[in-house]
Structure 1
Amino acid sequence: MFIGTMLTGAMMVFITQHLQIVDGLSPRSAGLWILPAAIATAASFQVSPLLARRVRQGRLIAGGLLLSAVGVALVVFIPADAGPLPIIGAFMVTNLGMGPMVTLATGIVLGSAPPERAGSAGALNEVSGEFGYALGIALLGSLGTAVYRALVDVPAGVPGGVAAGVRDNVTAASAAAGSLPGELGERVLVAARDASTSGLHVVAGVCAVVLVGLAAVSLRMLRHLPPLTSAPSADPAGDPKAPSADPAGDPKAPSADPAGDPKAPFADPVSDPKAPSAEPIDGDLITAQPRRTQSSQGAAAVPGGTTEDKAVRHRAKQDAALREAERR
């Protein structure tokens, strides 16, 4: 991530500068010309995870870096007067190749860290990308400026103070060309544009070589990573091995309905003939012991709550009272 953003970030700055100074576009026009490259980047970000399900991640990242190297190498062969279309096409190819590295590298970094350090790993990944972007502009920008200063050819007849500005950087040269008379100013502007394009060529060549080396390293270091697998389904209906939370769908699930579970205790004396029954007899509340009576068919158990049972118990109570009186 660090090296990738360092190279592509610097290339983006050089290309936008080239569109404005060498091709003579306004900042708004240059921004509109960059939009196709931004769309290519977004498309690459969306497609890369899909490709990673079929291709090993190391191979996909390495292939993307090689594609970016091809796009950057194309910039080397674009002359100063070619216009914006060729350089934008090359930049689109470069951005298409960077998609796998940007999208998959983040997942690799987070996946290699323990869960409790995932936040730190993500922050480190982001900081390294931003730092690489800034460092690339500084290093490769210095290289491009050095090439410009070495190759710019100031035409004869340019005043000393203006010539010093022309030799310093292409922006000062473009401003100085406007202050010089017609043909002399045009010659200064052409010389500055040629030197600036040469600096862009050198930077693009360096980026292409580094990207090829980075692709080789990625292929070797990440060769053990398998293709991405689809995320597991969170729907229990879509996973036959997921535990069922529906008692009706799981015959082993405990039932909360006593009628559906023959082993569940039941406290209704009407349905359970063994349950004790409390009934008032002659104004006294007595507790009857569990009993079982037979119906006329002899099949159903009827709890002690009928008139016949009450009469039987009443006679039994009277007999007990008579026996107690006789013993006295």
Structure 2
Amino acid sequence: MVAFNGLFTKKTLFGLFFGQILSLFITSTGFSLSELARRGINAPTSQSLANYVLLAIVYGGILISRRNGMKAKWYYYLLLGLVDVEANYLVVKAYQYTSLTSVMLLDCWSIPCVILLTWFFLKTSYRFKKIMGVVICVAGIVLVIFSDVHASDHSQSGSNPVKGDLLVIAGATLYAVCNVSEEFFTKTADQVELLAMLGLFGAIFSGIQISVFEREELKSIHWSSGAVLQYAGFAAAMFLFYSGVPVLLKISGSTMLNLSLLTSDMWSVLIRILVYLEKVDWIYFVAFAAVAVGLVVYSLFDKEGDESRGDNVELAISKHFDEEADVAGRLS
């Protein structure tokens, strides 16, 4: 079934819509983080722990109830859990040293990293119109950056901008590795298995990191009822975001995921306008429109078979995982 005179498939339209749902979840986590920071709570790893625990309990329970062997080896997920924890930690930590403008700009580094990694490892092909869609999306974010340069943010460069910028670049690179790895496991193994093991190892590594780096910080925090509610809201939004990511990765891939998340800053601006009645620069609306156009251009004529070379690779690896699981089942 093809809609809009063949420009979009139903799968593509769902990918565009669902990508914005995930972007709104990221927006809500940003508001929760801001409120927690305002209350003096600055413990990046501790704030992510509840999400990993929820993933391990919910999807781990489903995985156990199935009584089936795992498709992929556990140590692959161990490495993924470590990379995911450190990516979250580095980007949140960077806010202490550099400006919001720098974080927004440098976080876009994950997009070319994702394109390179999917092309090299997953054999994903990118036609010219897809590259043009990416360029338009990034151009929209650059408009926001130029707008912020004229706002108060440019004078607040942070205590150590160079250190903060390096943290963002490192975190964005690790995010790209995580997204491409999750796309790989989503398409070749199992979504429930991925989320369960990511939650398990993410919780383990978070617990270790908290005991080493954030133990004293947690002792000094006063957990009021408002702070607890904000923490719970952050954990719930992160859980829903992580739960939805494999769905979009399976449908549209990790590049589309990263492009969709570019609109999270725009959604936060709209919420500030509608809820807090704040006035913002008109350029934000132009930027939002540019990102939206870029997403549409990236998705144009996104028919089945466009990336058949990557599909063949994924099919072969999925078959290999199935054979490994059968062998392990017979041995047990």
TM (norm. structure 1) is 0.28
Is the helix fraction higher in 1 or 2?
Answer: 2
Q: Which has the higher contact order (CA 8 A, sep 6+)?
A: 2
